């Protein structure tokens, strides 16, 4: 049986028994920002508070899409309680996660902070709300169609039962404009097309009555015709073999923020801001956490190293971007 790379990636990542996210060991293959240091969630919470104060209709909701086991949601809730108590009393949380085991864990952990929590497995099941919806490293994990240049033509990559990659005709008409834009792609070059990311954003936009969508992920604004090859992560190293041992490694592709901005505009979202994670965190007070970690001991050194990774250009600081889009009532 032949299936598109998109369907292979969907199964390799999300199969409920053998998929990567069902068996992933935290920090084994990569660190997410909240796993690296809780200051990430604290700064994010402060920035969310500023956005929430601009929402005039109520009641207010904070929605985390792709919440995992609730690590980031707990960091955000803790900071809101500590630094913005009046606002925290007005906010209800909604957690969205397709993995029911992680979702149950996240709800249990967040409930311990005394906040009102609603759980959903899909963004489309959220009732319309006012507030802020945020995600961190969600969109890069959505399955992608894979296009490849061969013999002067753009083909789609499929995967057979033995894990071999085979080129064939495009499986969906929505891929045709993407293929047309890649006409000058070098022989053998590959490009990931995330139809899912744009569809997800459109769905998220439809749930927001008034407020903001904040997306944190690695990627950039791709120029038309620019290649964006997917990759695999295993034990903190990048691998090029994408179909070997499905479920044993993370599969991902950089987020095309130009596509997200366009999808947002079509869904009634205005571009509020777009920039590097470093800029977002530094403007939000990350340097204060660095100053608080001053000291000569090994523990202080390790803490500073983690904080610097979040903002350093060669760490997450420039590779990751923050997109904020707004919907006015």
Give pTM, 2 decimals. Answer: 0.94
Render 101-169 in DSSP notation, one character per residue: HHHHHHHHHHHTTT--EEEESSGGGSPPEEEEEEEES-GGGS--EEEEEETTEEEEEEE-TTS-EEEES
126 within some domain:
yes
Q: What is the pLDDT of residue 29?
A: 56
pLDDT in tens, 45-87: 999 999 999 999 889 999 999 999 999 999 999 999 999 999 9
Q: What is the pLDDT of residue 296?
A: 77
Give the rounded distance of the alpha carbon of 278 from its chain centre: 16
Total domain count for the chain? 1
127 within some domain:
yes
125 within some domain:
yes
Q: What is the pLDDT of residue 224?
A: 81
Q: What is the pLDDT of residue 27?
A: 57
For residue 320, the surrounding DSSP H or E stretch is strand 320-327
Give the rounded distance of the alpha carbon of 88 from its chain centre: 24
Please report, for the domain that includes residue 96, its CATH number: 3.40.50.12710
Residue numbers in the chain where pLDDT is lower than 50: none
Domain that holds residue 307: 30-139+191-225+250-327
């Amino acid at each position: 049986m032949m299936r598109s790379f998109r369907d292979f990636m969907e199964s390799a990542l999300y199969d409920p028994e053998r998929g990567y996210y069902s068996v992933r060991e935290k920090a084994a293959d990569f660190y997410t920002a909240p796993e690296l240091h809780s200051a990430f969630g604290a700064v994010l919470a402060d920035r969310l508070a500023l956005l929430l104060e601009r929402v005039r209709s109520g009641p207010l909701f904070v929605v985390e899409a792709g919440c995992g086991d609730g690590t980031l949601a707990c960091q955000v809730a803790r900071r809101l309680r500590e630094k913005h108590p009046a606002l925290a009393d007005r906010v209800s949380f909604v957690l969205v996660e397709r993995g029911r085991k992680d979702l149950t864990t996240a709800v249990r952990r967040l409930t311990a902070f005394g906040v009102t929590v609603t759980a959903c497995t899909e963004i489309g099941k959220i009732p319309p709300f006012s507030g802020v919806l945020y995600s961190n490293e969600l969109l890069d994990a959505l399955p992608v169609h894979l296009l490849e240049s061969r013999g002067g033509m753009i083909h789609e990559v499929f995967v057979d039962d033995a894990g071999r990659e085979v080129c064939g005709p495009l499986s969906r008409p929505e891929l045709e404009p993407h293929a047309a834009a890649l006409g000058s792609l070098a022989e053998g070059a590959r490009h990931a097309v995330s139809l899912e990311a744009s569809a997800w954003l459109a769905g998220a936009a439809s749930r927001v009555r008034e407020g903001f969508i904040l997306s944190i992920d690695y990627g950039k604004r791709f120029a038309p015709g620019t290649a964006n090859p997917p990759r695999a992560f295993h034990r903190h190293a990048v691998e090029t073999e994408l179909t070997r041992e499905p479920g044993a490694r993370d599969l991902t592709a950089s987020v095309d923020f130009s596509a997200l901005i366009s999808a947002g505009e079509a869904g009634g979202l205005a571009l509020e801001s777009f920039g590097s994670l470093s800029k977002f965190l530094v403007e939000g007070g990350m340097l204060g956490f660095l100053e608080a970690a001053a000291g000569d001991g090994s523990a202080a050194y390790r803490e500073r190293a983690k904080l610097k990774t979040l903002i350093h250009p060669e760490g997450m600081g420039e590779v990751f971007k923050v997109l904020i889009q707004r919907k006015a009532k």
